[in-house]
């Protein structure tokens, strides 16, 4: 699946992963200046360049007042007219890994799109690197801290919401950079935690050139 193909129907298939502990830092990549191939803290991602970039994005987006709350929506992805085309998608949210399932997809030559959260990447950096090397798998963005990309206190599936617009930018863009540092490729799709996002999040994602994928 790529940004230039017809947009497919995206169907949800979830699987949990076994926990792997965080690994030590690796040398930096010249493209991002971030450690590659191993876990690294979110604080390291907030470079002066990034903070300047985030400030610019927030100036360009119409930010509501502090009491504004948008309805969190669940489905965004456009449906494809291409009959019989189904994309398997898997969400790696927090911890754990089903190697048996990954090996089965490889043995049967079944392509899949893998939405990875930053939390999962930090715990499984070597696995991310191996998955990214396989042309059957497309690595996409499931949020830096696996939060619902919406303002307000209403919880979906018990998941935390982003607190403000700046945190929305972090949730999307910092995980983009984390994935790029590990895989060498920047994602083009973003699926928020629980597949819920409000209108402000959708505007920010669009400004970051990301397509928001629902179920």
pLDDT single digits (tens) 12-26: 333 333 323 333 333
Q: Which of 2-6, 48-52, 76-80, 92-96 has the lowest mean pLDDT?
A: 2-6
Per-residue pLDDT reduced to its tens digit, 166-181: 999 999 999 999 999 9
Q: Look at residue 195 and tell me whether its pLDDT is greater than 70.
A: yes
Domain assignment of residue 4, yes or no = no
CB under 8 Å, gap of 24 or more: what pairs does 4-8 form? 6/80, 6/81, 6/82, 6/85, 7/77, 7/78, 7/79, 7/80, 7/211, 8/80, 8/82, 8/85, 8/86, 8/87
Kindly state the tokens that stand for 61: 């987006």
Domain assignment of residue 191, yes or no = yes
215 contact partners, CB below 8 Å, separation of at least 6:
10, 11, 12, 74, 75, 77, 195
The burial class, CB within 10 Å (0-12 / 13-18 / 19+), for 10 is: buried
Domain assignment of residue 120, yes or no = yes
Domain assignment of residue 159, yes or no = yes
Q: Look at residue 27 and tell me whether its pLDDT is greater than 80.
A: no
CA distance linking residue 209 with residue 203, whole number of Å: 10
Question: How would residue 187 be classed by pLDDT, with cut points 50, 70 and 90?
Answer: very high
Kindly state the tokens that stand for 85: 């085309």
Q: What is the CATH number of the domain that holds 98?
A: 3.20.20
pLDDT at 159: 87
User: Into how many domains does the chain fold?
Assistant: 1
Per-residue pLDDT reduced to its tens digit, 59-72: 998 776 655 555 55
Question: How would residue 44 be classed by pLDDT, with cut points 50, 70 and 90?
Answer: confident
Domain assignment of residue 2, yes or no = no
Average confidence score pLDDT of the chain: 78
Q: Look at residue 79 and tell me whether its pLDDT is greater than 80.
A: no
Dihedral of alpha carbons 18, 19, 20, 26, sign: positive
Three-state SS for 12?
A: strand
Domain assignment of residue 82, yes or no = yes
Per the structure, the complete domain to which residue 70 belongs is given by 9-15+26-212
Q: Which of 61-70, 116-125, 153-162, 174-183 has the lowest mean pLDDT?
A: 61-70
Domain assignment of residue 105, yes or no = yes
- pTM score of the predicted model: 0.76
Kindly state the tokens that stand for 132: 């990214």
- The answer to whether residues 185 and 56 touch, using CB atoms and an 8 Å cutoff, is no
More confident residue, 73 or 192: 192
């Amino acid at each position: 699946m790529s940004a230039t193909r017809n947009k497919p129907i995206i169907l949800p298939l979830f699987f949990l992963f076994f926990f792997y502990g965080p690994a030590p830092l690796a040398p930096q990549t010249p493209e991002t200046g971030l450690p590659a191939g191993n876990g690294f803290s979110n604080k390291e991602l907030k470079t002066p360049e990034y903070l300047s970039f985030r400030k610019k994005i927030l100036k360009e987006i119409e930010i509501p007042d502090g009491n504004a709350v948008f309805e969190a929506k669940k489905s965004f992805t456009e449906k494809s007219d291409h009959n019989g085309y189904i994309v398997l998608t898997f969400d790696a949210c927090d911890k754990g890994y089903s190697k048996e399932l990954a090996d089965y997809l490889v043995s049967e030559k079944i392509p899949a799109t893998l939405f990875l959260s930053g939390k999962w990447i930090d715990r499984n950096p070597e696995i991310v690197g191996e998955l990214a090397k396989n042309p059957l798998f497309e690595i996409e963005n499931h949020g830096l801290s696996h939060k619902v990309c919406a303002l307000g206190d209403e919880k979906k599936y018990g998941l935390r919401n982003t607190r403000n617009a700046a945190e929305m930018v972090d949730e999307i863009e910092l995980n983009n950079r984390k994935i790029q540092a590990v895989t060498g490729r920047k994602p083009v799709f973003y699926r928020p935690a629980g597949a819920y996002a409000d209108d402000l999040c959708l505007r920010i994602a669009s400004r970051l050139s990301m397509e928001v994928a629902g179920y």
